[in-house]
Amino acid sequence: MLTGFSLALGFFIRDRTQNKVKAEVSFPGNSVEVPFETYGNHLFLQGKLNNTVTHDLLLDSGAADIFLSQSKAQAFHLKSVGKSYIPGGTTGQVFTNRVKGVTLKLGALTLQDRESVVIPTAETNKLSHFFGRTVTGIVGYELFQQHVVELDYQNQVLRFHRPQTYRYPGKAKPIPMKVEGERPYIEITVSPYGYPALKGSFMIDLGSGGAVLLATGCGLNQKLIAAAPKILVRKLSTIHGADNIHLGRAQKVQIAQQSIDNPIAVLPQMQTTDCDRATGNIGNQILRQFKVIFNYPHRQLILEPNSEPRPKDPYEYDLSGLWIQATGANFKTYRIETVYPNTPAAKAGIQSGDVLKEINGRPTTQLNLSQIRQQLSQVGKNIQLVVERAAKPIQTSFMLKSLL
């Protein structure tokens, strides 16, 4: 299920008055495995930050630096070494600090004494309310830049290999990859409905829970929206804040020899400057169907199809019409922020401000937010809810259906 969230940290702006020192990642032998958890179509690492255990470190290939929550930076008594800002907020930018002295350990892998960008508390709260769990930090480029990194979704593990000794054992052909702004890009072709195929450079974005984000120039996005068989206007959350976006389906996405049929496409307000080319990102909803091998030293990407067959209809979005946020102690209060009109939940009488108490007879205190969203992502499933409104329980039911 596309969760409607993108970290979008590749657009972080650094005060580069000093040259950035290359990260030194150490591990024994020629390779090492690091487990990860898939949660709500995002990837979380378990490890240690400055010898403090964390289960809430997000992996994002669009993150140019290590990002650390303000509460952790304060707890570690880290010294500020400069100013930075992240685009977003009411003023168009969120000012923050860079700190030094961050050491990250992931099993046998160590990233020693690094600088980090502090994410202000208000911004980490947005992430935590969306995910329904604490977010202590975000890491990307510094893990990838010097090694071959194998992302195995099926076995929930990252494998780090030394490029000098690594030999790919499979049959998939490497795809040329460029690294710009410390983010990985490949050339792909998107075939929208009602318009000729568009070629462009797309970021491989582990911070995106979606399938494909497609941005074009010269007003073409509006033409694509008008030509699409069906469009939803929904909310997209990023670290910059929340905004309304248009969602539709692309007819096909072609990535080298791999053809992805009928994925959900986000058509944002952002515009490219090139009228003849597209840009955007490819997220976990597509990437999870492959073993993804990032080879930054040799500027290559490999997409090896999983051994399990692809699901017939893997791409869905918002089958209920509910936008839910997690609040309260341990993020176990699930509040309905928005009920979209003409959806199953709206027709069942659910209202904004209701608090979700039970789903199909199970108290929501026994579920995390990702599990609740999974319950609401099965086409044809009958859902029975108990919500609390004005301190009174209200029972209702509806059947989930595809809205796109």
Q: Tens digit of pLDDT for each residue in 355-388? A: 999 999 999 999 999 999 999 988 999 999 999 9
Contact by Cβ (8 Å): 192, 224: yes
**Does some domain include residue 167?**
no
For residue 391, being part of any structural domain is answered with: yes
pLDDT surpasses 70 at 120:
yes
Q: What are residue 305's phi and psi, to 5 degrees?
A: -55, 140
Better-predicted residue by pLDDT, 94 or 56: 56
347 and 398 in contact (C-beta within 8 Å)?
yes
What pLDDT is stored for residue 241 in this prediction?
A: 57
Output the CA angle 122-45-236, nearest 5 degrees.
45
Residue 249: inside a domain = yes
pLDDT, the chain, mean: 88
pLDDT at 124: 87
Residue 93 has pLDDT above 50, yes or no: yes
Please give the tally of structural domains in the chain. 3
Residue at 332: amino acid letter: K
Give SS3 for 373. helix
Nearest to 181 by CA among 199, 210, 198, 203: 203
262 three-state secondary structure = coil
Q: Is the pLDDT of residue 9 over 50?
A: no
Q: What is the mean pLDDT of residues 228-234?
A: 89
Residue 80: helix, strand or coil by DSSP?
strand
Range of the domain at 337: 322-399
pLDDT higher than threshold 90 for residue 307: no
| Span 264-301, pLDDT tens digits | 999 877 667 777 788 999 999 999 999 999 999 999 99
Per-residue confidence at 38, pLDDT binned at 50, 70, 90?
very high
Structure-token pair, residue 367? 């579920």
Kindly state whether residues 254 and 198 are assigned to the same domain. Answer: yes
At 164-221, the pLDDT tens digits run: 999 999 999 999 999 998 999 999 999 999 889 999 999 999 999 999 999 988 888 8
Q: How far is CA 178 from the centre of its chain?
A: 20
Does 272 lie in the same domain as 346?
no
Model confidence pLDDT, tens digit, residues 70-87 = 999 999 999 999 888 776
| Interior/surface letters 54-88, b for 16+ CB within 10 angstroms, e for the rest | bebbbbbbbbbbbbbbbebbeebebeeeeebbbeb
Assess whether 394 and 272 both reside in one domain.
Answer: no
The answer to whether residue 3 scores a pLDDT higher than 50 is no
Average pLDDT estimate for 325-346: 94
Whether residue 404 lies inside any domain: the answer is no
Q: Cite the DSSP H helix spans in 103-152.
A: 121-131, 141-144
In this structure, the answer to whether residues 118 and 14 fall within a common structural domain is yes
Among candidate residues 305, 331, 363, the one where a domain is terminated: 305
For residues 67 and 9, the answer to whether their CB atoms sit within 8 Å is yes
| Same domain, yes or no: 123 and 28 | yes
Q: Are residues 223 and 261 in the same domain?
A: yes
Q: How many CB atoms lie within 10 A of CB 230?
A: 11
Residues 138 and 7: beta-carbon distance below 8 Å: yes
Tokens of 27: 């591990």
pLDDT at res. 92: 63
State whether 270 and 126 are in the same domain: no
387-400 pLDDT, tens digit per residue, is 999 999 999 999 99
Q: Is the pLDDT of residue 10 over 60?
A: no
Last residue of one domain, picked from the residues 101, 133, 161? 161
Residues 110, 154, single domain; the answer is yes
Q: Does 350 share its domain with 218?
A: no
Regarding whether 357 and 258 lie in a shared domain, the answer is: no
The pLDDT confidence band at residue 242, using thresholds 50, 70 and 90, is low
The pLDDT value recorded for residue 122 is 85
Q: Could you tell me which residue, 238 or 122, shows the higher pLDDT?
A: 122
Q: Is the pLDDT of residue 11 over 60?
A: no
What is the Cα–Cα distance from 89 to 292, expressed in whole angstroms? 33
pLDDT band at 95; cut points 50, 70, 90: confident
Q: Is residue 151 part of a domain?
A: yes
- pLDDT of 18: 45
231 plus 153 within the same structural domain: no
